[in-house]
A and B are shown apart, each in its own frame.
Chain A
Amino acid sequence: MIYIILFLEFFKIGLFSVGGGLATLPFLKELIDKYGWISQDELLNMIAISESTPGPIGINTATYVGYQVSGVLGGIIAVAGIVAPALLIIIVIAHYFDKFYERPLVKGAFYGVRPAVTGLIASVAFGLGRAQLFNPGFTGLAFFNIKAILLFLLLFFLIYRYKKHPIVYIVTAAIIGVIFKF
């Protein structure tokens, strides 16, 4: 039963996530909120692992969630679910439509979808950031997680300025986390 749920949920993600990279993130967030398969901290750990290991991020995260739900088979089923819609759609497109991405309908849809996906990912970042950088329920200075905010600003500055591979920042943050006991 759990395998069917896993397959269908990831099939849905594969069908509606457009734009690559972190496009699956809003769906994953919704999924774990719904089923409680992994925690919010684990979600962030999982993204870090997915960005620091080979392979597409969307596939890495699907494997991770599937594995947490029910081991190796769970991982395989989640990945099968996420790739199935594209497999079907692409076979149809490759067969029937030439240069389909130049069609006005497809271009129009993407004109709308790109900003929307960006907004959805921004929203997830906002939610996760609120949980990590602030202490909801506290007032005054205690509301701010000063140490975390400082690290965030430092890292964001470095990322924005130097544009190195994510692993560089992940390792830097790990070292700072250990030294300053985050």
Chain B
Amino acid sequence: MQEIWQLFWMFFRIGSFTFGGGYAMLPILQRELAEEKKWLSPEELIDFYAIGQSTPGIIAVNTATLVGYKRKGIAGAIFATAGMVAPSLIIISLIASVFQRFQEYALVQHAFAGIQIAVIALILDTVIKMGKTGIRDYTGLVIFILAFLLLSFLGISPIIVIVSSALVGILMQNRQKNRMTETNYSTDGDNK
């Protein structure tokens, strides 16, 4: 029972101090889990992080869920997850409850009119970063453009786009693998 609360509080602390989630969290997890508590080896942590990235949902939360599950089963998973999201719930609820009132002031309106433009620039920067790591060849570029066009101009649901792009990805990689095994069999090696 004690370790379950430790899990809750540890992720509560992490949730309270990491801005932006995901990537910002890894060094803190490294220090707390691998170095101080020795609950996990650094390799295990990297492993968990990779799983957190390759499962649906929020990466930081997924990593917390995994750590909790590995330590204390389903109860551990639930408490670690709850700890991770609790600070957001408290902080954002507080902000949302006062924000409405502040919004009436002209000063706040001007500030947020500026901020809205900053957010668009930040999203664009995120898109560029994601594109640099995620789009690795022409297939990726075509998927990127199609996803953009389908949502922008046809209003196709993002769910449909995500599911079909996953299927395309699986098909394309199988094809590439088949081609590679074929070229492995040919001895003259004229493949580029």
Interface residues of A (CB under 8 A from B): 12, 14-22, 24-27, 30, 41, 44-45, 47-60, 63-64, 67-68, 72, 75-76, 79, 82-83, 85-87, 89-91, 93-94, 99-101, 104-129, 132-133, 148, 151-152, 155-156, 159-160, 165-167, 169-170, 172-178, 180-182
Contact = CB atoms under 8 A, between A and B. Distances in A.
B18 A55 contact: yes
B180 interface: no
Contact of B158 (A16, A89, A111, A174): A16
Contacts of A117: 130, 134, 147, 162
A86 B18 contact: no
A25 B119 contact: no
A115 B81 CA distance: 28
Nearest to A168: B118
Nearest to A165: B19
Interface of A is mostly: helix
Given A108-B172, A116-B161, A119-B145, A125 B124 contact: yes
B124 A156 contact: yes
A159 B121 CA distance: 8
Interface string B67-91: 0011000100110010011011101
Nearest to B73: A91
The 9 closest A-B CB pairs, nearest first, are: A112-B169, A177-B114, A119-B147, A56-B21, A86-B57, A114-B134, A116-B165, A55-B88, A173-B118
Interface string B141-152: 101111111011
A59 B114 contact: no
B134 A112 contact: no
B112 A55 contact: no
Given A93-B51, A99-B47, A125-B127, A16 B159 contact: yes
Nearest to A128: B120
Given A52-B19, A82-B57, A115-B135, 13 more contacts: A21-B130, A26-B151, A27-B159, A54-B91, A55-B91, A56-B15, A83-B85, A86-B55, A90-B66, A101-B50, A112-B167, A132-B116, A177-B114
